[in-house]
Amino acid sequence: MSEPVGIEDIKVHLHLDPDDTTDDAYLTSLLLAARRAIEIKTGQTIVADEPSLAGADLEMAKHAIRLIVGTWFSSREHIASEATAPREIPGTLTWLIEPLMKWDDGE
């Protein structure tokens, strides 16, 4: 399976010129990192032979990817000190990611 959010899609989300390829390699890297971050955080797979996220859950993950990439793209440098760095993910992403989390029921 290909990446769930492509370059064209993220450029629309970020209001970037679709014909400008200047940031394509960087955006591709951000898309991959955001997708993997969601997979690791949720314990679910998005890109795999048999992904565990599909349908509406995949749409939620795709929106989370767009938001993460948007944040990383607009804030390319580390801007918070260790003392002021957030300890939790922002509320918008929490609302998107937490329902997708795979919980260990002990079985």
pLDDT in tens, 44-102: 999 999 999 999 999 999 999 999 999 889 877 665 555 555 555 566 777 787 888 87
Q: How far apart are CA 103 and CA 18, in angstroms?
A: 39
Q: How far apart are CA 68 and CA 61, in angstroms?
A: 10
pLDDT of residue 90: 65
pLDDT of residue 10: 98
pLDDT of residue 88: 55
pLDDT of residue 60: 94
Q: How far apart are CA 85 and CA 87, in angstroms?
A: 6
| Residue 70 token pair | 């948007």
Amino acid at 69: V
DSSP single-letter state for residue 3: -
pLDDT of residue 103: 67
* Per-residue CA distances from 81 to 65, 67, 88 (Å): 25, 22, 15
pLDDT in tens, 10-49: 999 999 999 999 999 999 999 999 999 999 999 999 999 9
